């Protein structure tokens, strides 16, 4: 068994990716994001790290499962045909593959994530 430690949110151990992720398409405002991938399995199917986004909305379709722990900020997620759900600092939740909707960052959000690629 291996245990891998990575940086803290205040001091990530890697440089951020500053471009929007491929499956995130801005639809309202001028949101921007930063992604720090701190750990990736050899097969590329499990990733952990940190993410930050400024206010605005993205249309997004998840083809992965993502565990999220929000440190700061507030988001509202609206899966097509569903009621909006809001999450904020201290919330932990999972977005399953198949989510197809809007991610709206209400207040700059900072989160830790674990992604499993299907």
What is the pLDDT, as a whole number, of residue 69?
A: 96
Q: Establish how many alpha carbons lie within 13 A of residue 34's alpha carbon, considering only the half-sphere containing its beta carbon.
A: 13
Query: What would the pLDDT profile of 57-68 be if each residue is shown by its tens digit?
Result: 999 999 999 999
CA dihedral over 101, 99, 50, 21, signed as positive or negative: negative
| Tens-digit pLDDT profile for residues 96-117 | 999 999 999 999 999 999 999 9
- Quickly list DSSP for 34-72: EEEEEEE-TTS-EEEEEEEE-SEEEEEE-SEEEEEEEEE
What residue ranges define each of the domains in the chain, with the CATH number in brackets?
24-117 (2.60.120.10)
Task: Please report the pLDDT score of residue 9 as a whole number.
Answer: 73
pLDDT of 2: 74
d(CA 61, CA 58): 10
Whether 118 has a pLDDT exceeding 80, the answer reads yes
Question: What is the per-residue pLDDT across 8-23, written as a single tens digit (0 to 9) for each?
Answer: 777 778 899 999 999 9
**H helix or E strand, kind and range, residue 86:** strand 85-88
């Amino acid at each position: 068994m291996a245990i891998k430690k990575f940086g803290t949110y205040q001091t990530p151990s890697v440089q951020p990716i500053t471009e929007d992720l491929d499956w995130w398409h801005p639809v309202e405002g001028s949101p921007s994001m930063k992604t720090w991938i701190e750990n990736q399995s050899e097969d590329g199917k499990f990733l952990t790290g940190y993410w930050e986004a400024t206010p605005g909305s993205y249309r997004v379709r998840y083809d992965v499962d993502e565990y999220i722990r929000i440190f700061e900020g507030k988001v509202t997620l609206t899966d097509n045909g569903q009621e909006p759900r809001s999450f904020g600092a201290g919330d932990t939740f999972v977005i399953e593959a198949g989510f197809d909707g809007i991610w709206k960052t209400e207040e700059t959000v900072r989160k830790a994530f674990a992604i499993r690629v299907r």
